[in-house]
Structure 1
Amino acid sequence: MATHERPANLVQIHTTQLRHDQGGARSLILSQGPSKGKILTVMALLPVGGILLGLAGITLAGTMIGLALATPVFVILSPVIIPAALTVGLAVAGFLTSGTFWLTGLSSLSFLVNCVRQATGRLPEKMENVKGRMQDMAVFTGKKTKEVGQKIKNKAHEVGPEGQGQSQSQSQGSGKLEK
């Protein structure tokens, strides 16, 4: 058995990673390559990827063969196919637009009906509230009018008949001065 000795100038390199433990301590980990799990994953997915790549190639080849066979038919029938395709496309666009307008109109009507329902649902409550406020205001105005009338009556009794005559003579006297 022969022993292999390494030359002195050859250095083996290990990659290092810094890892934080749960306690917060740092430790160095020497990684020596991919793990067994990664290798098994690659080994399992390699045939799947190959099969999918092969299916993609077969699909591309079938599409190219079909296009090569159909191109002369399309060229010969193009005066009929192009207007037919345009007609079908415009009909589909019309149906989609009609459906969109129908849906928009229906949702708008639904929104308006909900607004009317909410307004009429609250209207009797609001009317009762307004009636109550109007009655309160009428009562308040009546009381205030009575109070003001009573104050005027009291002032008239305080001034008496003399005050009324004086105020009339003063107004007549001032009228004579102005002339």
Structure 2
Amino acid sequence: MTQKLSSDSTPTQRQTVKFITAATIGTITLILSGLTLTGTVIALVMATPVLVLFSPILVPAGIVLFLAVTGFMFAGGLGVAAITALTWIYNYVSGKHPPGSDQFDHARMRLANKARDVKDRAKEYGQYAQNKVQEASQQTA
């Protein structure tokens, strides 16, 4: 039994190769990230005087560029939304069954029922008001 425990606790050759591979890849990645950080800091130190010198031009240009890109993205998004909506409407009108058409039909029927109820109530109220006017005119005559 003790012999089995000792054979389970010793790493196999495959586990050793996995560990060495992971350690090598991790070390290389760490070195590359350090070199990238060093290069970024050196580039920032070299570019800082240029950025400070041209900041009165670069800041407004950056703002204008940001607003222009945002405007184009917004307009493009609205165009995509419009095309999507028109496609859905076309599919709905042409008799196809686009997603959400059941909910749309249900809402349309509820709205039509409410409009019919309001119309009936207005008609009843109109008749009620007309009767009251007739009663008032008969009492004064």
Secondary structure at 1:118 match in 2? coil
Which residue number in structure 1 is paired with residue 72 of structure 2?
95
Are positions 1:43 and 2:42 aligned together?
no
Looking at structure 1, the residues matched to 15 and 61 of structure 2 have their Cα atoms a distance apart, in angstroms, of: 56
Which residue number in structure 2 is paired with residue 11 of structure 1?
none
Are positions 1:83 and 2:60 aligned together?
yes
Moved over 4 A (4+): none
Secondary structure at 1:70 match in 2? helix
Q: 1:66 aligns with which of 33, 43, 57?
A: 43
Looking at structure 2, the residues matched to 51 and 105 of structure 1 have their Cα atoms a distance apart, in angstroms, of: 50
Unaligned 5+ runs, structure 2: 97-141
May I ask how many residue pairs the two structures share in their alignment? 93
Looking at structure 2, the residues matched to 44 and 110 of structure 1 have their Cα atoms a distance apart, in angstroms, of: 53
Larger Rg: 1
Unaligned 5+ runs, structure 1: 1-13, 15-28, 120-179
- Give the counterpart letter for 2:69 in structure 1: V
Are positions 1:110 and 2:87 aligned together?
yes
State the Cα distance separating 1:63 from its structure 2 match: 0.2
State the Cα distance separating 1:33 from its structure 2 match: 2.6
State the Cα distance separating 1:117 from its structure 2 match: 1.1
Q: Which has the higher helix share?
A: 2
- Give the counterpart letter for 2:56 in structure 1: P
Per the normalisation by structure 1, the TM-score is: 0.48
Residues 112-137 of structure 1, C-alpha deviation per residue, up to 9 Å, x if partnerless? 11222118xxxxxxxxxxxxxxxxxx
Task: Give % identity.
Answer: 34
State the Cα distance separating 1:51 from its structure 2 match: 1.7
CA RMSD of aligned residues (A): 2.0
Looking at structure 2, the residues matched to 95 and 32 of structure 1 have their Cα atoms a distance apart, in angstroms, of: 62
State the Cα distance separating 1:107 from its structure 2 match: 1.1
Higher relative contact order (CA 8 A, sep 6+): 1
Which residue number in structure 2 is paired with residue 136 of structure 1?
none
Looking at structure 2, the residues matched to 114 and 44 of structure 1 have their Cα atoms a distance apart, in angstroms, of: 56
